[in-house]
Amino acid sequence: MNSRVLVWSPAVRNKLARFRSDHFSPEETFDFISQFILETEAVLSNPVLSKAYTEEGGTYAGLSRIVIKRFRVYFEQHENKIVIVAVLFPGEK
Protein backbone atom coordinates (compact mmCIF):
# COMPACT_ATOMS: atom_id res chain seq x y z
CA MET A 1 0.00 0.00 0.00
CA ASN A 2 1.36 3.39 -0.97
CA SER A 3 1.18 6.14 1.60
CA ARG A 4 0.97 9.80 0.78
CA VAL A 5 3.57 12.33 1.78
CA LEU A 6 2.19 15.71 2.84
CA VAL A 7 4.40 18.77 2.65
CA TRP A 8 3.35 22.10 4.17
CA SER A 9 5.11 24.95 2.38
CA PRO A 10 7.17 27.28 4.62
CA ALA A 11 4.80 30.17 3.81
CA VAL A 12 1.80 28.15 5.03
CA ARG A 13 3.59 26.99 8.19
CA ASN A 14 4.52 30.60 9.02
CA LYS A 15 1.01 31.85 8.33
CA LEU A 16 -0.57 29.23 10.60
CA ALA A 17 1.97 29.95 13.36
CA ARG A 18 1.04 33.66 13.26
CA PHE A 19 -2.73 33.06 13.31
CA ARG A 20 -4.42 34.91 16.19
CA SER A 21 -8.04 35.41 17.22
CA ASP A 22 -9.49 38.32 19.16
CA HIS A 23 -12.22 36.04 20.47
CA PHE A 24 -10.11 33.23 21.92
CA SER A 25 -7.08 32.83 24.16
CA PRO A 26 -3.70 31.91 22.64
CA GLU A 27 -4.10 28.38 24.02
CA GLU A 28 -7.55 27.94 22.46
CA THR A 29 -6.27 29.33 19.16
CA PHE A 30 -3.27 26.98 19.20
CA ASP A 31 -5.61 24.03 19.91
CA PHE A 32 -7.88 25.07 17.00
CA ILE A 33 -4.94 25.33 14.57
CA SER A 34 -3.60 21.97 15.77
CA GLN A 35 -6.99 20.35 15.11
CA PHE A 36 -7.17 22.05 11.71
CA ILE A 37 -3.75 20.62 10.78
CA LEU A 38 -4.69 17.11 11.95
CA GLU A 39 -8.00 17.18 10.06
CA THR A 40 -6.34 18.55 6.92
CA GLU A 41 -3.72 15.80 6.98
CA ALA A 42 -6.36 13.13 7.56
CA VAL A 43 -8.42 14.31 4.59
CA LEU A 44 -5.46 14.72 2.24
CA SER A 45 -3.95 11.36 3.28
CA ASN A 46 -7.09 9.60 2.11
CA PRO A 47 -6.50 8.22 -1.41
CA VAL A 48 -10.05 9.21 -2.38
CA LEU A 49 -10.36 12.99 -2.29
CA SER A 50 -14.06 13.49 -2.79
CA LYS A 51 -14.17 17.10 -1.58
CA ALA A 52 -11.43 18.58 -3.79
CA TYR A 53 -12.15 21.06 -6.56
CA THR A 54 -9.87 22.69 -9.11
CA GLU A 55 -9.67 26.47 -8.84
CA GLU A 56 -10.59 27.96 -12.21
CA GLY A 57 -9.47 31.55 -11.84
CA GLY A 58 -7.52 33.98 -9.73
CA THR A 59 -4.22 33.63 -7.94
CA TYR A 60 -4.58 29.89 -7.38
CA ALA A 61 -5.95 28.91 -10.81
CA GLY A 62 -5.20 25.29 -11.64
CA LEU A 63 -4.58 24.24 -8.03
CA SER A 64 -6.79 21.79 -6.16
CA ARG A 65 -8.81 23.21 -3.28
CA ILE A 66 -10.59 21.78 -0.26
CA VAL A 67 -12.38 23.58 2.56
CA ILE A 68 -11.75 22.51 6.15
CA LYS A 69 -13.19 24.42 9.11
CA ARG A 70 -13.99 27.29 6.68
CA PHE A 71 -10.28 27.55 5.74
CA ARG A 72 -9.52 27.13 2.03
CA VAL A 73 -6.55 24.83 1.47
CA TYR A 74 -4.83 24.93 -1.94
CA PHE A 75 -2.57 22.05 -2.88
CA GLU A 76 -0.75 20.30 -5.71
CA GLN A 77 -0.51 16.55 -6.06
CA HIS A 78 2.45 14.82 -7.70
CA GLU A 79 1.94 11.04 -7.57
CA ASN A 80 1.93 10.29 -3.80
CA LYS A 81 3.27 13.68 -2.73
CA ILE A 82 0.89 16.48 -1.80
CA VAL A 83 2.26 19.98 -1.39
CA ILE A 84 0.05 22.43 0.50
CA VAL A 85 0.74 25.69 -1.31
CA ALA A 86 -1.60 28.13 0.45
CA VAL A 87 -4.23 28.45 3.16
CA LEU A 88 -6.80 31.24 3.16
CA PHE A 89 -8.53 32.08 6.42
CA PRO A 90 -12.30 32.61 6.52
CA GLY A 91 -13.13 35.95 4.90
CA GLU A 92 -9.66 36.31 3.37
CA LYS A 93 -9.46 36.97 -0.37
> Region 68-84: what's the mean pLDDT?
93
Tens digits of residue pLDDT in 42-75? 999 887 766 778 888 899 999 999 999 999 999 9
C-alpha to C-alpha distance for 77 and 63, rounded to whole angstroms = 9
Predicted TM-score (pTM) above 0.85: yes
pLDDT for 55: 87
pLDDT for 50: 64
Q: CATH code for 5-88?
A: 3.30.2310.20
Domain residue ranges in the chain: 5-88
C-alpha to C-alpha distance for 58 and 40, rounded to whole angstroms = 23
